[in-house]
């Protein structure tokens, strides 16, 4: 989840879960927002080394170092972004307390708020305060950056085929998965709503800036979360570190 620096962003939702002896069997509890995915407890390498080359030429890696080990208890995170339909329901239920921005894909009507786009599109242009309020209204919390990163790309235990046995980082024994789907291929429209050329990806032959929250399945993370790369930026609970 892209923390703090994202000007308009979406959110993932976190449900706490006790650490379990058998990581592969993390139970999930459906909520009104749908089925979450379980992320097992464990240690992973968070961030990137400054000397790691960026295959996409991105500068954000400079701000994600140094890589460091982080140990997390088991937790649950919702498998896809919050939809416009979910956001509209929240705005209508909180009534006069609702903040609203037209870029969220929402319109005002005589009877309240309504989707202005496909209801299954991700909500966007949501502030961090609004994201946290939405989560807490549902009895949930935003994930921490560490939780989001582990849910996004897993580690060499969750995704052994996605690890690089010949690391380039100065202090790594193994490079952990670069992307939710592993070390390769580089991001493309088959795995994420992301195009290295800068051209918009198409879905069903139509070019759109954002895609509905379901898919593409080829780009899902090891725990099963969708759109953890591409589509929209997402909020986390803490600062980028």
Would you kindly state where each structural domain of the chain is located, as residue ranges? 10-231
Lowest average pLDDT, out of 17-26, 79-88, 126-135, 204-213, goes to 17-26
Per DSSP, helices labelled H in 28-182 are: 84-94, 128-137, 145-153
**Residue 122 pLDDT greater than 90, yes or no:** yes
More confident residue, 241 or 25: 241
Query: For the whole model, what pTM was predicted?
Result: 0.78
Name, in order, each residue with C-beta under 8 angstroms of 125's C-beta and a sequence gap of 6 or more: 8, 101, 103, 104
Which pLDDT tens digit goes with each residue over 59-108? 555 667 778 889 999 999 999 999 999 999 999 888 755 666 778 888 88
| CB contact at 8 A, 9 and 124 | yes
CA distance 216 to 193: 8
CATH class of 10-231: alpha beta
**Percent share of the chain, pLDDT over 70:** 66
Which pLDDT tens digit goes with each residue over 172-194? 445 677 788 877 777 788 888 87
Name beta bridge partners: 37: 77
pLDDT score, position 59: 54
Taking residues 131-152, what's their average pLDDT?
92
**Residue 20 pLDDT greater than 60, yes or no:** no
């Amino acid at each position: 989840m892209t923390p703090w620096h994202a000007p308009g962003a979406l959110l993932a939702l976190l449900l706490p879960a006790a650490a379990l002896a058998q990581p592969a069997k993390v139970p999930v509890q459906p909520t009104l927002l749908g089925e979450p995915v379980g992320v097992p407890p464990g240690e992973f390498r968070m961030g990137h080394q400054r000397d790691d080359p960026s295959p996409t030429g991105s500068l954000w890696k400079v701000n994600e170092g140094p890589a460091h080990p982080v140990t997390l208890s088991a937790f649950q995170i919702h498998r896809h972004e919050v939809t416009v339909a979910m956001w509209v329901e929240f705005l209508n239920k909180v009534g006069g307390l609702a903040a609203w921005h037209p870029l969220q894909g929402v319109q005002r009507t005589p009877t309240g708020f309504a989707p202005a786009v496909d209801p299954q599109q991700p909500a966007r242009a949501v502030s961090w305060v609004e994201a946290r309020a939405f989560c807490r209204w549902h009895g949930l919390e935003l994930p921490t950056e560490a939780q989001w990163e582990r849910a996004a790309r897993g580690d060499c235990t969750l995704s052994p085929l996605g690890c690089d046995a010949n690391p380039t980082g100065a202090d790594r024994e193994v490079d952990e998965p670069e992307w939710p789907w592993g070390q390769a291929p580089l991001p493309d429209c088959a795995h994420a709503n992301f195009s290295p050329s800068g051209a918009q990806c198409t879905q069903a032959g139509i070019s759109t800036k954002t895609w509905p929250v379901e898919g593409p399945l080829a780009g899902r993370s090891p725990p099963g979360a969708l759109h953890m790369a591409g589509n929209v930026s997402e909020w986390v609970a803490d600062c980028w570190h």
